[in-house]
Structure 1
Amino acid sequence: MIRKYLMERWSWIVLFLILQLLIIFIAFIDSTIPLTSALYIVFLSCIIFFIFVSIRYQKETKFFKSLEEWETGFDMKTVVTAESPFEKIAEDSIINQAQHLKKDASLHLLSLEKEKDELLSWIHEVKTPLTAMHLIIDRIENEKLKAQLLHEWLRIHLLLDTHLHQKRIPFMENDLYIDKIDLHTLIVNEIKTLQSWCMHKGIGFEMDLKVSEVISDGKWLAFIIRQLLTNAVKYSDASDIIIKTYENNEQTFLEIQDFGRGIDPKDLPRIFDKGFTSTSDHQNHAATGMGLYLAKNAANSLHISINVDSKLGAGTTFMLCFPRQNAFHQVMSM
C-alpha cells in the first residue's frame, strides 16, 4: 500500500522536490541570500514534508485498505466510513452499484426459482401420462413391439428423472433423511426399472451382498446407484453385471462391475466433470455428460466417495465407499 500511495502522490512529491531545488538554485545565483540558510530551510522543509506524508498516509489509506479487505458481497459494513470528498464519491458509487446489483440478483434469483418450480411441475405432470403409457404398453401382445416401446419409455423415464434430480441437487441438503437402508431391496428395485433394457441387451446381474444395510438417504442413494447401473447397462453387451458389498476397517463398500467397453485412460480424470462425454465415442449424441456429474455431487453431500477402475475394452468398476457410522453426525447435522 505504501508503494501505491507514493505512486498516487508522485506528482505532488516531484513538485515539492522541484520547489526545494528552486530555492537552492536561487540562493546559489543570488549572493544576497546565504546558501547555508537556504540549505537549512530546505532540510527543515524535507523533514516537515516527510512527517506530513507519513501522517497523511495513515489517514488517506484507511478507507482504501478497508476496500482491499472487503469480502465479496454487498455488505458495506466492513468498509471504513469515507472522510474526504473523493472517498465519499467512491463510497456513494460503490453503495449505489451494490444496491443495484443486489436488486438485480434478487430478481434473477426469483426468476430462476420460478423457472425451476415450473419445470419441476411440468416433470411431475409428464409422469402421469408416462405411467399410463407404461400400463398401456404392458397390455400389448406383440412381444417385439412391446420390448421396443418399453425401451423408448425407459429412456424418457431416465431422462426426466435425471433432469428432476439436476434441479433438486442445489437444495439437496434440505431434502436429506438419514436412515438405515436395505441395500438388497433398493438395488433390486433399480434393476427392475432397467429390466426391459437389460433383457433387450441380454444383460444379467450377479449379486453378492455381504453387507445388506447402510446408513444413508434412501432416495438420493437410489439415484446414485441408478446412474451407475444405467452407465453399466448402456456401455455393456450380453454379459453379467456384478454387484457386491463388503466391509473393511468399519467402512462399507459397494462395487458395480461391468464387462463393457471400458473407459479410455485419458478420460478417467474427467468422467465426473459436468457435460463431459467420452472422447472415444464422441459421435454418441444421446450422451448428456450429466449422469456421473450429478451422482458425484449427490455422493459428496452424503459423504460417500466414488472411485472408478477401468480398462479400455475390459469393463469398468465403480466403487462407493460409505462413511463410518460414527462419522454420520456430520450428515445428520445438515
Structure 2
Amino acid sequence: MIKQFLIERRSWILLFVCLHGLFLFVASIDSAIPFTSILYIVFLSMIIFIIFLIIRFHRETKFFKSLEEWEQDLDVSAITPAESPFEKIIEQAMMNQTRRLKQEVSQNLVTLEVEKDELLAWIHEVKTPLTAMHLMIEDMNEDTLKAKLTYEWLRIHHLLDQQLHQRRIPFMENDLYIEQTDLKTVIFPEIRALQSWCLQKGVGFEVNLQVPSVLTDSKWLAFIIRQLLTNAVKYSEKSDILLASFERQGQTILEVRDLGRGIDSKDLPRIFEKGFTSTTNHHDNKATGMGLYLAKKAAAPLLITFDVQSTLGEGTNFTLCFPKRNEFINLQGM
C-alpha cells in the first residue's frame, strides 16, 4: 500500500522537490540571499513534509485497505467509513451497487423457489398417470412388448425420481430421521422395482447381509442404493450383482459389486462429478451423469463415505462406509 500511495501522490511530491530545488538554486546564484539559511529552511520543511506524508498515509489508506480486505459478499458494513469527498463518492457508488445486487438476488431467489415448487408439483402430477401406465403395462399379454415398455417406463420413473430428489437434497437436513434401519427392508424393494429389467438382461442378485441393520435415514439410503443398483444393472449383462454388509473396524460396510463393463481408471476420479458420463463410451445417450453425483450429495449429510474400485471389462465395486453412532451427534433427530 505504501508504494501505491507514493505513486498516487508522486505529482505533489515532485512539485515539492522542484520548488525547494528552485529555492536552493536561486540562493546559490544570488549572493544577497544567505545560502546557509535557505538550506536550513529547506531541511526543516523536508522533515515536516515527510511527517505530513506519514500522517496522510495512515489517514488516506484506511478506506482502501478495508476495500482490499473486503470479502465482496454484498456486506459493506465491514468497510471503513469514507472521510474524503472522493472516498465518499466511491462509497456511495458501492452502496448503490450492492443495494441493487441484493434486490436482484432476492428477486432471483423468489423466482427460483417458485420454479422449484412448480417443478415439484409437476413431478407429483406426472406420477399419477405414470402409475396408471404401469398398471396397464402389467395387464399386457405380449411379453416382448411388455418388457420393452416396462424398461422405458422404468427409465422415466427413475429420471423423475432423480429430479425430485435433486430439488430436495439442498434441504435434506430438515427431512432426516436417523434410526436403526433394517437393510432388507431397504434393499429388497429396490431389487423388486428393477426385476423386469433384470430378467430382460439376465441379471441376478446375491445378497449377503452379515450386519442386518445400520443407523441412518431409510428414505435417503434407499435413494442412494437405487442409484447404485440402477448403474450396476445398466452396465451388466448375464451376471450377478452382489450386495454384502459386514463390519470393519467398528463401522458397517455395504458393498455393491457388479461384473459389468467396469470403469476406465482415468474416469474414476470424475464419476461423482455432475453430468460426467464416460470418456470410453461417450456415445451412450442414455446416461445422464446424475445418478452417482446425486448419490454422493445425499450421502454427505448422512456421513456416509464412498469408495469405488473398478477394472475396465471386469466390473465395479462400490463401498459405502456408515458412520459410528457417536458421529451422529450433530445430525438432527439424534
Please give the secondary structure, in 2, of the residue aligned with 1:318: strand
CA shift for structure 1 position 9: 1.5
The within-5 A match list for 1:49-88 is 49-88=49-88
Q: For the structure 1 residues 47 and 333, does the alpha-carbon distance in structure 2 shift closer, same or farther, using more than 3 Å as the test?
A: farther
Instruction: Tell me the equivalent position of 1:286.
Output: 286
Listed one character per residue, the Cα deviations across residues 249-293 of structure 1 (whole Å, up to 9, x for unaligned) are: 111110000000100011011111111111000001111111111
Distance between the aligned counterparts of 2:160 and 2:109, measured in 1?
23
Please give the secondary structure, in 2, of the residue aligned with 1:308: strand
Distance between the aligned counterparts of 1:27 and 1:173, measured in 2?
82
Worse overlay, 250-259 or 79-88: 79-88
Q: Which amino acid aligns with 1:299?
A: A
Worse overlay, 5-14 or 277-286: 5-14
Worse overlay, 233-242 or 295-304: 295-304
Q: Which amino acid aligns with 2:52?
A: F
Distance between the aligned counterparts of 1:295 and 1:190, measured in 2?
15
> Is 1:295 paired with 2:295?
yes
CA shift for structure 1 position 21: 1.5
CA shift for structure 1 position 83: 1.3
Q: Which amino acid aligns with 1:286?
A: K
Does structure 1 conserve the Cα–Cα contact (< 8 Å) formed by 2:177 and 2:333?
no
Distance between the aligned counterparts of 2:4 and 2:218, measured in 1?
57
Instruction: Tell me the equivalent position of 1:90.
Output: 90
Does structure 2 conserve the Cα–Cα contact (< 8 Å) formed by 1:303 and 1:331?
no
Q: For the structure 1 residues 175 and 72, does the alpha-carbon distance in structure 2 shift closer, same or farther, using more than 3 Å as the test?
A: farther
Instruction: Tell me the equivalent position of 1:261.
Output: 261
Instruction: Tell me the equivalent position of 1:250.
Output: 250
CA shift for structure 1 position 184: 1.1
Instruction: Tell me the equivalent position of 2:231.
Output: 231
Structure 1 unmatched runs, 5+? none
Please give the secondary structure, in 2, of the residue aligned with 1:301: coil
CA shift for structure 1 position 247: 0.6
Please give the secondary structure, in 1, of the residue aligned with 2:78: coil
Structure 2 unmatched runs, 5+? none
Instruction: Tell me the equivalent position of 1:322.
Output: 322
Listed one character per residue, the Cα deviations across residues 150-180 of structure 1 (whole Å, up to 9, x for unaligned) are: 1111010001111111122122222222111
Q: For the structure 1 residues 159 and 19, does the alpha-carbon distance in structure 2 shift closer, same or farther, using more than 3 Å as the test?
A: same
Listed one character per residue, the Cα deviations across residues 20-62 of structure 1 (whole Å, up to 9, x for unaligned) are: 2222222222222222222211111111011111111111111
Does structure 2 conserve the Cα–Cα contact (< 8 Å) formed by 1:270 and 1:276?
yes
Identity %: 62
Instruction: Tell me the equivalent position of 2:313.
Output: 313
Does structure 2 conserve the Cα–Cα contact (< 8 Å) formed by 1:260 and 1:315?
yes
Does structure 1 conserve the Cα–Cα contact (< 8 Å) formed by 2:207 and 2:244?
yes
Distance between the aligned counterparts of 1:217 and 1:171, measured in 2?
14
CA shift for structure 1 position 333: 7.2
Distance between the aligned counterparts of 2:236 and 2:29, measured in 1?
98
Q: Which amino acid aligns with 1:327?
A: E
Distance between the aligned counterparts of 2:44 and 2:333, measured in 1?
67
The within-5 A match list for 1:190-209 is 190-209=190-209
Distance between the aligned counterparts of 1:317 and 1:122, measured in 2?
36
Please give the secondary structure, in 2, of the residue aligned with 1:77: helix
CA shift for structure 1 position 17: 1.6
Q: Provide the TM-score with structure 2 as the length reference.
A: 0.97
Q: Provide the TM-score with structure 1 as the length reference.
A: 0.97
Distance between the aligned counterparts of 1:13 and 1:333, measured in 2?
67
Q: Which amino acid aligns with 1:250?
A: G
Aligned positions, number? 334
Instruction: Tell me the equivalent position of 2:159.
Output: 159
Instruction: Tell me the equivalent position of 2:132.
Output: 132
Instruction: Tell me the equivalent position of 1:170.
Output: 170
CA shift for structure 1 position 19: 1.6
CA shift for structure 1 position 330: 2.1
Listed one character per residue, the Cα deviations across residues 305-325 of structure 1 (whole Å, up to 9, x for unaligned) are: 101000010000000011111
Please give the secondary structure, in 2, of the residue aligned with 1:331: coil
Distance between the aligned counterparts of 2:236 and 2:121, measured in 1?
34
Q: Which amino acid aligns with 2:178?
A: I
Distance between the aligned counterparts of 1:95 and 1:86, measured in 2?
14
Does structure 1 conserve the Cα–Cα contact (< 8 Å) formed by 2:263 and 2:310?
yes
Does structure 1 conserve the Cα–Cα contact (< 8 Å) formed by 2:217 and 2:302?
yes
Q: Which runs of 4+ in 1 moved over 3 A?
A: none
RMSD: 1.3
Distance between the aligned counterparts of 2:28 and 2:290, measured in 1?
82
Instruction: Tell me the equivalent position of 2:34.
Output: 34
